[in-house]
Copies of this chain bind each other. A is one copy, B any other.
Protein backbone atom coordinates (compact mmCIF):
# COMPACT_ATOMS: atom_id res chain seq x y z
CA UNK A 1 0.00 0.00 0.00
CA UNK A 2 1.37 3.38 -1.07
CA UNK A 3 0.71 6.69 0.67
CA UNK A 4 1.36 10.39 0.29
CA UNK A 5 2.13 11.10 3.92
CA UNK A 6 5.66 12.42 3.38
CA UNK A 7 4.54 14.90 0.73
CA UNK A 8 1.64 16.23 2.72
CA UNK A 9 3.71 16.35 5.90
CA UNK A 10 6.40 18.45 4.16
CA UNK A 11 3.76 20.77 2.71
CA UNK A 12 2.90 21.60 6.31
CA UNK A 13 6.58 21.85 7.32
CA UNK A 14 6.31 19.12 9.89
CA UNK A 15 9.12 16.73 10.80
CA UNK A 16 8.47 13.02 11.21
CA UNK A 17 8.82 13.65 14.94
CA UNK A 18 6.19 16.41 14.78
CA UNK A 19 3.74 14.19 12.95
CA UNK A 20 4.46 11.37 15.36
CA UNK A 21 3.64 13.63 18.30
CA UNK A 22 0.44 14.87 16.64
CA UNK A 23 -0.76 11.31 16.07
CA UNK A 24 0.54 9.90 19.34
CA UNK A 25 2.94 7.33 17.93
CA UNK A 26 6.72 7.18 17.77
CA UNK A 27 8.93 8.74 15.16
CA UNK A 28 9.98 5.26 14.04
CA UNK A 29 6.39 4.36 13.25
CA UNK A 30 5.95 7.38 11.00
CA UNK A 31 9.25 6.67 9.32
CA UNK A 32 8.37 3.03 8.68
CA UNK A 33 4.99 3.92 7.22
CA UNK A 34 6.35 6.67 4.97
CA UNK A 35 8.94 4.19 3.70
CA UNK A 36 6.40 1.42 3.14
CA UNK A 37 7.81 -0.94 5.72
CA UNK A 38 4.28 -1.71 6.84
CA UNK A 39 0.79 -0.26 6.81
CA UNK A 40 -0.58 1.69 9.76
CA UNK A 41 -3.47 0.37 11.80
CA UNK A 42 -6.87 1.67 10.70
CA UNK A 43 -7.09 3.95 13.69
CA UNK A 44 -3.66 5.45 12.98
CA UNK A 45 -4.65 5.87 9.33
CA UNK A 46 -7.62 7.97 10.47
CA UNK A 47 -5.48 10.04 12.82
CA UNK A 48 -2.99 10.72 10.02
CA UNK A 49 -5.78 11.72 7.65
CA UNK A 50 -7.20 14.07 10.26
CA UNK A 51 -3.90 15.74 11.10
CA UNK A 52 -3.01 16.07 7.42
CA UNK A 53 -6.49 17.43 6.72
CA UNK A 54 -7.46 14.80 4.18
CA UNK A 55 -9.31 11.48 4.04
CA UNK A 56 -8.05 7.93 4.47
CA UNK A 57 -9.15 7.16 0.93
CA UNK A 58 -7.11 10.03 -0.48
CA UNK A 59 -4.09 9.43 1.74
CA UNK A 60 -3.57 5.80 0.69
CA UNK A 61 -3.33 4.16 -2.71
CA UNK A 62 -5.06 0.85 -2.56
CA UNK A 63 -2.40 -1.09 -4.53
CA UNK A 64 -1.24 -4.48 -3.27
CA UNK A 65 2.33 -3.17 -3.00
CA UNK A 66 3.49 -3.80 0.59
CA UNK A 67 6.93 -5.46 0.58
Give residues in A with beta carbon < 8 Å to B: 1, 39-43, 45-46, 49-50, 55-57, 60, 62, 66
Identify A41's interface contact among B41, B50, B56, B62, CB under 8 A: B41
| Contact indicator B43/A1 (Cβ below 8 Å) | yes
In the docked arrangement, what's the CA distance between A66 and B5, Å? 25
Identify A42's interface contact among B40, B50, B55, CB under 8 A: B40
The oligomer's copy count stands at 2
A65, closest chain B residue (CB): B43
A19 CB → nearest B CB, Å: 17
Contacts of A66 in B (CB 8 A): 43
Identify A46's interface contact among B43, B46, B60, CB under 8 A: B60
